Structure 1
Amino acid sequence: MINVVELAQKAFDRDDIPWKNIVSTLTICQYAFETYLNYRQYKELAKRSVPELLKDHHSAEHIEKSSEYSRDNLKCTMFSDFLSLLSNLAIIKYDLLPRVWNLCAKYTSMLPAILVPKTIYSQSVYFFLFGTILSTIAHAPIKYYKIFVIEEKFGFNKSTVKLWLSDQFKTVALFSSLGGLFTYGCLRIIDACSSNFVGYICAFVLFVQLFLIVASPIIIEPLFNTFKPLEDGELKKSIENLAQRVGFPLSNISVIDGSKRSSHSNAYFSGLPFMNKRIVLFDTLIETHTTEELTAVLGHEIGHWRLNHIFKRVIVGQATIAFTMTLFNSLYRNKSLYQAFGFLVGDGVSSKSSQVVLSSFPIYIGFMLFSDLSSPIECVLQFFSSLLSRLDEYAADDYSRSLGYTESLAAALVRLDKANLLPVHVDKWYSTYHYSHPTLIERLSALEFNKITKRE
């Protein structure tokens, strides 16, 4: 494998390769492909027919409203994607990566020396932090519009500007601190292990994932929401009976105050593999569903545990990381690639104001460029990931059905779909690429349940 990597490094480290043109072309192609899928979905949303399976539940007015909600979100997404395309092309054309690197180095040099050790690792981390802040500021108007215009228009938004700003600050602080440490760790591993870093990176990523599973409910989630134990009553007893019946290692059931931000609803469980689990229910979910429906939904969630879906996803994730890092290994020491984007590696190399001269490879920059070059592969992996996720959802639905919850699960799915204004008409290619869950019609058809008792 090492010989193949070395051969690839030599084959592609050539000054005659137009790296900028290649990255620009791939960026435009990915944008065109995803915009085409968005266009297909936008056309699909023009349909107004009510599927036979849902005629007792979805009126023509509801179809119109859900389609309008989806169209508004889709238009916002397409506008955001177009701005991202322009910014990415500007970054390439005007050599903004080395300019931002130099700008970051200029301002961080004003900090105390203990905070800015003169290493490429620290400079890369500060570049990451600087980029995170710039990205957050750039995307803030779109996020604001989605919440306070689109979500507000359709009655979903419960947040305030003050709460939203607080969330943005906390998110940036968390992502910067945890992401900075993660970036530093990866850079040190790659530099220390040279061409043999793939296995170590996989192990490090797995360790971080397990750490976050433990730390998230203790440290991260309480920063944004309040959790309280589910009160004693019919629902709690029903869930505990289900857990006992199937051997689910339930430690506690919590209710999250999701209603302070949105009327959207959800349910999930968390916990390390082979250890006790915590079930979390959104208060909005409890308010709008019956005990039988909620138990059926949790039967679905427990199905993911019983069928080892989490473990399988970890394995697939590790395989994906190993594959990605192997490809990255063949490219990250490519001098011609760095030079094309304004990063000159070596001693005694002359430079301009829009260039950076470094004695070693800027690995973080290398990974950014690699991500752009590997965008076609990422699109294929996106299809594959969505397919696996949808298969798991079908299997979890089937598990809930095997527990005797066919009618209750079907009713819950219809109610969730209706309450969240999810589109009934979805383009096949769009859903294949974007949807981690099957559509409502697909799930009801798989459940082989053709008549759902109407419950208001």
Structure 2
Amino acid sequence: MSGVVTKLDSAISRLADLADNPAFPYRQAVIWLSSLQTAWELYVQRRQVPKFSIPFPPPELKDHLKKDTFKKAQAYGRDKITYAMANTVYSFAVSLALVYFGVYASTWDATGRFMARVGLAASRTIVHSLLWMSYLTLIQAVPGIAWSYYYTFVLEEKHGFNKSTVKLFITDTLKTYLLTAAIGLPVLAGFLKIIDIAGKHFVIWLMLFLLGIQLVLQIIFPIFIQPLFNKFTPLPDGELRTRVEALASKLKFPLAHLYVIDGSKRSSHSNAYFYGLPWSKRIVIYDTLIKDSSPAEVEAVLAHELGHWYLSHPTRLILIAQAHLLFTLLVFSIFIHNKALFEAFGFDPRLAVSSPTGGSQPVVIGFILYQLLFEPLDTVVKFFMNSKTRKYEYQADAFAVRLGFKKELGDALIKLHVSNLSSPHSDKLYSAYHHSHPTLPERLRAMDEYTGASWLKLSPQAKKQELTEQHKKED
């Protein structure tokens, strides 16, 4: 094992030496890569625009979308894509301005001067890093509030989905910023401290630290954080509760609590999900889903969701995310002391090695610059992740169909599609890039190909074996 670590260290050192080249135009590379990414985003979005001019719904939905509803869905989709394209251009302009005008370096200097004025020692690198990140976040996020306001109170309001109020919007925004600071800043401080202590072997320790943070957030988010935004009430006794509990028992799903969430106070969109530790799960159903669907249809939606659990999809996605994080940190270790990268963005190149004013190296600078350089390349990762999650959605649909919910699931998905005014037509490239779920026509066609009758007659052991074999083939 030590031999592998030694070889990896040697390879990283050689790559770091090659990357630390003053002749390489890092700043220009970021500008060009960001420009290419934006051009790609706009191209993909533009491909979707003609789909909103198609005069008829797809064959699978022609009997379910009334003419008036279809026109509303097309208009809603057209407005959303216009908003998305404008927001893409705006985001690019902000990113370009930050790089072109040297905002990253100037704000680092500005926060350093602020520390001096309030009597904080310049050697307190982590405090300086937290102030810098807070400043950068605010100057980018505050203008974004206007975009969020427009989306909620103009676009969503226009199409009848907004149920929020200005007061609720303001309190939600303030809560989000405060929670982001309360959680994000200590995590960032821990992130920087671990790198400071662990030195060049920081990757494995950071992986363990971030995995621990994810587990803690998974526990505290539904218990302490989400109730700040929504009210959870136990699902009352009745047909729906009886159906859900019977389904959970049949699948041996460790159901601990069954809640209804008041999603209707913000939007008329619907959803259902589960969360919790492996031995104690909670199911949450939106009140809008209960209002618009029959108990059998809600049960079918949950059969799909529990199919994800039964087939270990959340665990698989977590492992993929961890692999991506490991790769990201390993590549970052190549650039962590890159003087050329720091200097290209107007920083004192000495900051890539240590702090000239004393204290530890401001690693946060290198990490942000590294993200600027490699973020556009995550386009490939986005395709891969969507491909994976779309496959998992097909598998969860098949699971529900095999349990005998084909008609109910199809009816529920159609109702959700109609009530949410989802786009009836999707460009293939746009869908592959932006959608984590297959389109409704794709899902309905796939469900027609599943045969559930023989599945229902199998023993639990045989069902498990068949699913395992199918999983191996598809992977």
Interval of TM-score (by shorter of Structure 1 and Structure 2):
over 0.9
Q: Is the 8 A contact 1:346 1:358 kept in 2?
A: no
3-state SS of the aligned residue for 2:273? strand
Report the counterpart of residue 287 of structure 1 in structure 2.
Answer: 291
Q: Is the 8 A contact 1:407 1:449 kept in 2?
A: no
Report the counterpart of residue 322 of structure 1 in structure 2.
Answer: 326
Q: How far apart in 2 are the matches of 1:136 and 1:346? A: 30
Report the counterpart of residue 57 of structure 1 in structure 2.
Answer: 64
3-state SS of the aligned residue for 1:197? helix
TM normalised by structure 1 equals: 0.93
For residue 103 of structure 1, report the CA deviation from its aligned partner: 2.1
Q: 1:83 aligns with which of 74, 86, 90?
A: 90
Q: How far apart in 2 are the matches of 1:259 and 1:111? A: 46
Q: 1:212 aligns with which of 198, 217, 220?
A: 217
Post-superposition Cα deviations, 1:83-109, rounded to whole Å, max 9, x if no partner, equal: 111111111121111111222233344
Q: Is the 8 A contact 1:19 1:337 kept in 2?
A: yes
Q: Structure 1 residue 144 and structure 2 residue 149: aligned? A: yes
Q: Structure 1 residue 413 and structure 2 residue 409: aligned? A: no
Q: Which sits farther off after the overlay, 306-315 or 185-194?
A: 185-194
Amino acid at match of 2:447: L
Report the counterpart of residue 275 of structure 1 in structure 2.
Answer: 279
Amino acid at match of 2:337: R
Rate the CA distance shift 1:109–1:265 in 2: closer, same or farther, 3 A: farther
Report the counterpart of residue 270 of structure 2 in structure 1.
Answer: 265
More helix by share: 2
Q: Is the 8 A contact 2:123 2:357 kept in 1?
A: no
Report the counterpart of residue 18 of structure 2 in structure 1.
Answer: 11
Q: Structure 1 residue 101 and structure 2 residue 105: aligned? A: no
| Unmatched 5+ stretches in structure 2 | 1-7, 451-475
TM normalised by structure 2 equals: 0.89
Report the counterpart of residue 353 of structure 1 in structure 2.
Answer: none
Q: Which sits farther off after the overlay, 31-40 or 192-201?
A: 192-201
Q: 1:256 aligns with which of 253, 261, 265?
A: 261
For residue 449 of structure 1, report the CA deviation from its aligned partner: 6.9
Q: Is the 8 A contact 1:345 1:357 kept in 2?
A: no
Q: Is the 8 A contact 1:343 1:358 kept in 2?
A: no
Identical aligned pairs, as a percentage? 38
Q: Which sits farther off after the overlay, 116-125 or 190-199?
A: 116-125
Q: Structure 1 residue 36 and structure 2 residue 43: aligned? A: yes
The Cα RMSD (Å) is 1.8
Q: Which sits farther off after the overlay, 312-321 or 100-109?
A: 100-109
Amino acid at match of 1:439: T
Q: Is the 8 A contact 1:303 1:399 kept in 2?
A: yes
For residue 111 of structure 1, report the CA deviation from its aligned partner: 4.5
| Unmatched 5+ stretches in structure 1 | 350-355, 451-456
Q: How far apart in 1 are the matches of 2:145 and 2:74? A: 25
3-state SS of the aligned residue for 2:348? strand
Report the counterpart of residue 178 of structure 2 in structure 1.
Answer: 173
Number of residue pairs the alignment of both structures matches: 440
Q: Is the 8 A contact 2:34 2:376 kept in 1?
A: no
Q: Is the 8 A contact 2:52 2:74 kept in 1?
A: yes
Post-superposition Cα deviations, 1:215-238, rounded to whole Å, max 9, x if no partner, equal: 011110011011110001110000
Q: How far apart in 2 are the matches of 1:71 and 1:265? A: 21
Q: Is the 8 A contact 2:51 2:426 kept in 1?
A: yes
Amino acid at match of 1:322: L
Q: How far apart in 2 are the matches of 1:153 and 1:252? A: 36
Amino acid at match of 2:366: G
3-state SS of the aligned residue for 1:271? strand
3-state SS of the aligned residue for 1:137? helix
Q: Is the 8 A contact 2:49 2:78 kept in 1?
A: yes
3-state SS of the aligned residue for 2:128? helix
Q: How far apart in 2 are the matches of 1:48 and 1:241? A: 44
Q: Is the 8 A contact 2:261 2:284 kept in 1?
A: yes
Q: Is the 8 A contact 2:339 2:350 kept in 1?
A: no
Q: Is the 8 A contact 2:269 2:420 kept in 1?
A: yes
Q: How far apart in 1 are the matches of 2:421 and 2:299? A: 22
Amino acid at match of 2:270: S
Q: Which sits farther off after the overlay, 154-163 or 124-133?
A: 124-133
